[in-house]
Amino acid sequence: MRYVVALDQGTTSSRAVVIDETGCAVASHSNEYTQNYPKPGWVEHDPYDIYYSQLGALKIAVQKAGIDGEQIAAIGITNQRETTLLWEKDSGRPVCNAIVWQCRRTASYVERLKEQGLDPLIREKTGLIPDAYFCATKLQWIFDNVPGARERAERGELLFGTVDSWLVWNLTKEHVHVSDVTNASRTMLFNIHTMDWDEELLRLFQIPRSILPRVCDSSGVVSYLNEEILGRAIPIASMAGDQQSALFGQACYQEGMVKPTYGTGGSMLMNTGSAPKNSQNGMLSTVAWRIGGKTCYALEGSIFVAGAAVQWLRDELGLIRTAAQSEEIALSVPDSAGVYVVPAFTGLGAPYWDMYGRGAIVGLTRGAGRAQLVRATLEAIAFQTSDVVRAMEQDSGMPLSQLRVDGGASANNFLMQFQADILGIEVVRPKIVETTALGAAYLAGLAVGVWEDQGQIAALWQDERRFVPAMEEEQRQHRLRQWKRAVERAAGWAKDPLE
């Protein structure tokens, strides 16, 4: 039996998962690490925390699996995207902390780009809607604020990378400086049409080309693990951003297949095939993966609050003790009694894009209580997902036939059934919901021949449960209309602050 180890470097923890040839996870280990919040809205990681928590997870997971380096055919990497690092070429020392994707410190940089009318140019080239999430303005900030960084970068002394690059650089003896197309596509410096760093954008953001990593396929041997780590120079054979990796792990290989992740927030990716699609509805156009030089693209839509709404029920309202309890409470009543919860705690994401939207509960009557509120909150997660799905269908011109779900809240059977009902589309939950790690393992195994082709991997994908739409059409339309009306009431709420 041969194994592939996936390194899943996430925002709050670093995880390693040992996966066998049948696509089963045989062992895993996770290490949480420190989040740094130096100012309100700022988020940083110590680059060494990222690396050492990941290295530790790798060693322990392999130990738990009871295998050695000889049995590991390949290592795959998947990672939190957009988090930005800059380090010294000679010593490997970071010039500052990693600026995490969530960090809002460059919001004003993005405002300026928009004022300069650069929005359409950036969208056209990168597929992204300009935002502080992406690396370009984070790098600009470092050059503006870390003494000497710009000059040193211009002299070729510094290297930039997303987390994938940072890990590979540290995990290899000869310190290879690479990234993959999915991670590159989140920098706001990469042209998703030419599939190369974009000269015009580099000039615009004043980024010297010498600091940029070589961009590789998502599947392919980029280098070998330093043999001191596990006693063998194991091929490092894949790199992919976490959402893209999950799309691959869900075996969404056909155009039009969609993977919604119900985590703290929600993230939906749709495979759009060999050409990027321009979104008219606030979706990002991004690279899904590149294998053997062939690029597959995706549309991506985000929901700010998904599972977080369940945490709100638990932590702020005290209506449930555990997230899982929300299912039983929702099912204790026949319906939500006309109550709608719009969890727009931080505004409304796609397809509304209203940063002034705020949360609302509407339709309350005297009989509406705890169970109805819990039920309406779970329904809201499905309504928001449905909005994104419909927008994606419009953008892609592809009607969906199935959703392959994952993420913590996909464990909720009520939520999944309601999702199927409100969309009129079958919802399928796979046996293995660790799809992010699985994707990285598949991409790596594919490169070294553990699996022959994507068809073989797709055959490994197994459903655990299917949720078939059962709601009457009339009822469905009514519920969707009421949801829209509830959203209208939450929209723009924070536009009149007391100042």
Query: Residue 73: in which H helix or E strand, if any?
Result: strand 72-79
**Residue 243, C-beta contacts closer than 8 angstroms, at least 6 positions apart:** 81, 261, 267, 269, 300, 436
Decide whether 71 or 346 has the Cβ nearer to ligand ADP. 346
Task: Please count the other Cβ atoms lying within 10 Å of the Cβ belonging to residue 291.
Answer: 20
Decide whether 86 or 416 has the Cβ nearer to ligand ADP. 416
Decide whether 213 or 307 has the Cβ nearer to ligand ADP. 307
CA distance 123 to 130: 7
Decide whether 288 or 378 has the Cβ nearer to ligand ADP. 378
CB of 359 to ligand ADP, least distance (A): 16
Phi, psi of 216 (to 5 degrees): -115, 170
CB of 406 to ligand ADP, least distance (A): 8
CB of 308 to ligand ADP, least distance (A): 5
Decide whether 187 or 302 has the Cβ nearer to ligand ADP. 302
CB of 261 to ligand ADP, least distance (A): 7
CA distance 295 to 217: 9
CA distance 288 to 258: 12
Decide whether 198 or 421 has the Cβ nearer to ligand ADP. 421
* Alpha helices (H) along 66-208: 107-115, 119-126, 135-145, 149-154, 163-171, 181-184, 199-204
Decide whether 323 or 471 has the Cβ nearer to ligand ADP. 323
CB of 401 to ligand ADP, least distance (A): 24
CB of 379 to ligand ADP, least distance (A): 12
CA distance 386 to 372: 20
Query: Residue 442: in which H helix or E strand, if any?
Result: helix 435-448
Contact between 399 and 258 under an 8 Å Cβ cutoff? The reply is no
Decide whether 329 or 350 has the Cβ nearer to ligand ADP. 329
CB of 206 to ligand ADP, least distance (A): 34
One-character DSSP codes across 356-409: T---EEE---TT--HHHHHHHHHHHHHHHHHHHHHHHHHHHT----EEE-BSGG
**In the complex, which residues of this chain contact ligand ADP (CB under 6 A)?**
263-264, 307-308, 310-311, 323-324, 326-327, 407-409, 411-412
CB of 262 to ligand ADP, least distance (A): 6
CB of 378 to ligand ADP, least distance (A): 7
Which residue is at the shortest CB distance from ligand ADP? 408
Contact between 141 and 207 under an 8 Å Cβ cutoff? The reply is no
**Residue 402, C-beta contacts closer than 8 angstroms, at least 6 positions apart:** 257, 258, 425, 426, 427, 428
**Residue 348, C-beta contacts closer than 8 angstroms, at least 6 positions apart:** 304, 354, 357, 487, 490, 491
CB of 377 to ligand ADP, least distance (A): 9
CB of 310 to ligand ADP, least distance (A): 4
Decide whether 261 or 285 has the Cβ nearer to ligand ADP. 261
Phi, psi of 148 (to 5 degrees): 85, -10
Task: Please count the other Cβ atoms lying within 10 Å of the Cβ belonging to residue 424.
Answer: 13
For residue 385, how far is the Cα from the chain centroid? 15
Decide whether 155 or 465 has the Cβ nearer to ligand ADP. 465
- The encoded tokens of residue 250 equal 């869900």
Decide whether 141 or 383 has the Cβ nearer to ligand ADP. 383
